[in-house]
Amino acid sequence: MPKINSRALSPEELNRFGEELDALRARTVATLGQRDADYIRRIMAGVRWLGLGGRVMLMAGAILGGTVLPALLWPLCILGTVLLGLSKILENMELGHNVMHGQYDWMGDPALHGQSYEWDIVGTSDNWRKTHNYSHHTWTNVRGMDDDIGYGLLRIFPEQRWKPFYLIQPAIAVVFAVLFEWGVALQDLRIGRWFAGKMSGRTLWKMATPVVKKIGKQVLKDYLLFPLLAGPFFLPVLLGNIVANVIRNIWTYVIIFCGHFTADAEVFPKESVRKESRGHWYLRQLRGSSNLTGGRLINLWSGNLSHQIEHHFYPDVPANRYAAMAVEVREICARYGQHYNTGSLPKQFGTVIWRILRHAFPSRPGPARPLVAAG
Amino acid sequence: METALPQPTWLSRLNAVWAPPAVLDFWLSRLNPLWSWHQTRARVVERRLEAEGVTTLVLRPNRHFRGFRAGQHVNVGIEIDGVRYTRSYSASDMPRADGCIRITVKAVDGGKVGAYLQTVPVGRVLSLDQAFGELSVPDVSAPCLMLAAGSGITPMLALVNAQAEAGFPRPVRLAYWARTRAELVQAKSLRAIATRHPNFSVYFVLTGEAAQATDELQGRIESLHLDTLLPGDAKAHVLVCGPHGFVERAREVLADRDLSFQAEAFSPPPRLIDASDHGHVRVTLLQSGRTLDIARNKSLLEALEEQGVRPRHGCRMGICNTCSCGKSSGATRALHDRSVQHEPTQALRLCIHAAQSDLSLDL
């Protein structure tokens, strides 16, 4: 692995760095218009058509396969499951996640309104807007402020204190991937605090009510209503829905873990964000995030989280612009002597797996890489 | 754009699980762009030029539209270059059996929406809100005097048509101000109604041309006009619609001569206090029904907090969108580039915008 050499910036350099990135944002926002509106509506249409196709295939596979054409059972059900999984991935990532950031609020379309959009996953949009849009995006990779560092389950960075519990984290990480949407649903409830006696059962229940409602709706839809539509042939439909959700869970987990947990991603102490300047905030986002190479296909199916760096610089700019902005961002980073963390999905996720394995065992942080030059 | 839904039944709740309104709307609008599970929309079924830069559109609403009375207006939403704009237009005709609503739109200088609607293709679907507005002819036998200026004629056209339909059970007189004859809308049909109904008379008051016909007057509104419109010391129920200045002048001129006074003024252009950021503006919080004065020289979030209001917020730097709330009127200034936004929006981030004029916020 090449040694990362991001140099510390002087306060003046940080200011200019921030100004250049702000200017790029202003240039981009000034050109938002019809093609961005068309793009996100095409995505929405893609979500709907894939979902419809998936559900119809599953239903057809189950009913036809169960009655007249047994040979169709597996092919149709597999195809249906994959389409449904793709629909959910596209909905969660390129549509839901980006819309909930308010990226398309400028359109004034109530169907694409960041504050009211509800996504197709057991977690509530409201909790996500809080844990993700606010905590994670503002305090990215700041220990004690960004709950997304290891999600309170995993030790990803040597800076996290080691406990014997982490020895089993490789297994936990796999289970977490399969059940990722449930992790997202429960994240903001902080059930750990209730176990530790720091939160009353009543408080927990109050916070849990909307979550339970959302879970109920999703379970009813995917695991009861749609399977029941197939009548006696409900089983393949039920299994297809379960597998589609799991496919989505694993994929989103992989993409999201590649965003901040790769080898070169850094974490920051709480002290570092006291009175943080705009330029410092940008630099911290850069150092704590990592991109994926792979072109348009990976951009689409990762919800443009393949441009995690650009997403963290500009969380409210339509994600379909990140690829174009990335060209300039790379150039700016290079001029300021900053490492631009990117790589293929296998390479980046490989380093994530290595972190999960390595830091299951006690480990010590390397030398600090300061953001701001002393003096 | 959303109509109040009836109390949800267990069936509609179950339905919402299968296909949430957003999903259902997607499929419904694929079948027919007019269809929606809960949104009011309308299709342009006819477009005709009324006068210079004035166009009448006939809109056929979907089933969510709860109808309107003559004298009311509707908010019409259109999309230009990916952005939805909403403007309020008076119905320019009474409700008809076809269930359509007619609006008459003037292209104003620099106005995107008015210009767009001049050439909107027939068949295009627009978003529509429920009708609102209180302007109406009092249901008594006393005479009624209507004063309209410019586009202020539109609700009067609807009211006159409704009165004509009822056979003018009371004397009605309409005075219609315009700059030139060419700008007059439906002058011919108004004259025709006046010929048919002795209880109705119309005067056209020109401010940029000399009066010629017997039913023409000239000049800006003044007491002199009352000699013709309300001769002797007659009194009438008064309805006024026009720009702010016109309405205020009419109020002065008609003091002591009105049995009642209903007025509707076009919303004045946002009052831009100088480009600097001194002073205070008045903010109306629509949900809590509060009105307060806040400073212009800081973010809306800080300025509101200073007044004891605690809007939901997060990062305080414009990235997390937690504080975003609707703004129904007024202008704001983006703190990072000082650009000014006049359009109503459903998502204004309080932490990175300051007030530029008086505001109405959805808080």
**Mean pLDDT computed over B175-182:** 94
Residue with tokens 């004859």: B181
Which uninterrupted H or E stretch holds B61?
strand B54-61
CB A131 within 8 A of CB A188: yes
Alpha helices in B197-256 (DSSP H): 223-229, 244-253
What band does B52 get if pLDDT is binned at 50, 70 and 90? confident
Give residue B325's region: left, alpha or beta (phi > 0; psi -120 to 50). Answer: beta
Three-state helix/strand/coil letters over chain A = CCCCCCCCECHHHHHHHHHHHHHHHHHHHCCCCHHHHHHHHHHHHHHHHHHHHHHHHHHHHHHHHHCCCHHHHHHHHHHHHHHHHHHHHHHHHHHHHHHHCCCCHHHCCHHHCCCCCCCCCCCCHHHHHHHHHHHHHHCCCECCCCCCCHHHCCCCCCCCCCCHHHHHHHHHHHHHHHCHHHHHHHHCCCHHHHHCCCCCHHHHHHHHHHHHHHHHHHHHHHHHHHHHHCHHHHHHHHHHHHHHHHHHHHHHHHHHHHHHCCCCCCCECHHHHCCCCHHHHHHHHHHHCCEECCHHHHHHHCCCHHHHHHHHHCCCCCHHHHHHHHHHHHHHHHHCCCCCCEECHHHHHHHHHHHHHHCCCCCCCCCCCCCECCC
What percent of chain A has a predicted confidence (pLDDT) above 90?
85
Do the chains contact at A133 and B321, CB–CB below 8 Å? Answer: yes
Give me the amino acid identity at B325: C
Ranges of chain A with pLDDT below 50: 1-2
Chain B residues in contact with A110 by the CB 8 A cut-off are: 1-2, 39, 346
Interface of B with A (CB under 8 A): 1-2, 14, 17-18, 20, 22-23, 25-27, 39, 77, 79, 81-86, 314-315, 317-322, 324-325, 336-337, 343, 345-347, 349
**Is B274 a residue whose pLDDT tops 80?**
no
For every residue of B104-172, DSSP letters joined together read EEEPPTT-HHHHHHHTPPTT-EEEEPPPB------SSSS-EEEEEEGGGHHHHHHHHHHHHHTT-SS-E
Q: Which of A109, A128, A224 to substitute to test the interface with B, most B CBs within 10 Å?
A: A109
For residue range B297-341, list pLDDT tens digits in order.
899 999 999 998 989 888 888 888 889 999 999 999 988 878 888
Distance separating alpha carbons of residues B88 and B66, to the nearest angstrom? 17
What integer best gives the mean pLDDT of chain B?
A: 90
Distance between terminal CA atoms of chain A?
A: 31
For residue A156, what are its two tokens?
């990803």
Chain B: give the shortest CA distance to residue A151, in Å: 19
Angle between helices A180-187 and A201-219 (to 10 degrees): 140
Distance separating alpha carbons of residues A204 and A332, to the nearest angstrom? 46
Q: Which of B26, B86, B319 sits opposite A48 (nearest CB)?
A: B26
Q: Which of B40, B315, B351 to substitute to test the interface with A, most A CBs within 10 Å?
A: B315
pLDDT of residue A77: 96
**What's B223's DSSP letter?**
H
Does residue A118 belong to the interface with chain B, where contact is any CB pair within 8 Å?
A: yes
Angle between helices A169-178 and A345-358 (to 10 degrees): 130
Distance separating alpha carbons of residues A96 and A113, to the nearest angstrom? 10
**Is B264 a residue whose pLDDT tops 80?**
yes
CB atoms within 10 A of CB A202: 8
Residue A160 burial by CB count (10 A; 0-12/13-18/19+): exposed, middle or buried? middle
What band does B3 get if pLDDT is binned at 50, 70 and 90? very low
CB atoms within 10 A of CB A287: 23
**Is B92 a residue whose pLDDT tops 80?**
yes
**Domain spans, chain A:** 11-29+119-358
Do the chains contact at A316 and B336, CB–CB below 8 Å? Answer: no
Give me the amino acid identity at A201: G
Do the chains contact at B22 and A106, CB–CB below 8 Å? Answer: no
pLDDT of residue B2: 43
Give me the amino acid identity at B190: L
Do the chains contact at B324 and A114, CB–CB below 8 Å? Answer: yes
Do the chains contact at A108 and B345, CB–CB below 8 Å? Answer: yes
Do the chains contact at A102 and B314, CB–CB below 8 Å? Answer: no
Chain A residues in contact with B14 by the CB 8 A cut-off are: 225
CB B148 within 8 A of CB B190: no
Closest CA to A355 of A294, A266, A249: A266
Q: Which of B320, B337, B349 sits opposite A137 (nearest CB)?
A: B320
Does residue A130 belong to the interface with chain B, where contact is any CB pair within 8 Å?
A: yes
Q: Which of B319, B325, B345 sits opposite A137 (nearest CB)?
A: B319
- pTM, rounded to two decimals: 0.89
Sequence-distant (6+) residues with CB within 8 A of A308 are A258, A259, A260, A289, A290, A291, A292
What band does B269 get if pLDDT is binned at 50, 70 and 90? low
Global ipTM: 0.86
Question: Alpha-carbon torsion A180, A186, A188, A191, what sign?
Answer: negative
**Mean pLDDT computed over B280-301:** 91
Residue of B nearest to A39 (CA): B82
For residue B184, what are its two tokens?
């007059």
Do the chains contact at B347 and A26, CB–CB below 8 Å? Answer: no
pLDDT of residue B314: 86
**Is B268 a residue whose pLDDT tops 80?**
no
For residue range B70-88, list pLDDT tens digits in order.
999 999 999 999 999 988 8
Chain B: give the shortest CA distance to residue A35, in Å: 8
Do the chains contact at B314 and A115, CB–CB below 8 Å? Answer: no
**Is B18 a residue whose pLDDT tops 80?**
no
Domains and CATH numbers, chain B: 10-128 (2.40.30.10), 144-265 (3.40.50.80), 280-361 (3.10.20.30)
Q: Which of B17, B319, B345 sits opposite A138 (nearest CB)?
A: B319
CB B69 within 8 A of CB B83: no
Question: What is the separation of C-alpha A217 from the centre of its chain, rounded to a whole number of angstroms?
Answer: 22
pLDDT of residue B276: 65
Buried b (16+ CB within 10 A) or exposed e, B283-296: bbbeeeeeebebbb
Angle between helices A278-288 and A11-29 (to 10 degrees): 80
Chain A: give the shortest CA distance to residue B99, in Å: 26
Do the chains contact at B346 and A111, CB–CB below 8 Å? Answer: no
CB atoms within 10 A of CB A329: 23
**Is B15 a residue whose pLDDT tops 80?**
no
Does residue A217 belong to the interface with chain B, where contact is any CB pair within 8 Å?
A: yes
Do the chains contact at B82 and A118, CB–CB below 8 Å? Answer: no
Chain B residues in contact with A128 by the CB 8 A cut-off are: none
CB A208 within 8 A of CB A199: no
pLDDT of residue A282: 96
Closest CA to B75 of B64, B90, B65: B90
pLDDT of residue B1: 43
Question: What is the separation of C-alpha B27 from the centre of its chain, rounded to a whole number of angstroms?
Answer: 31
**Is B28 a residue whose pLDDT tops 60?**
yes
Does residue A19 belong to the interface with chain B, where contact is any CB pair within 8 Å?
A: no
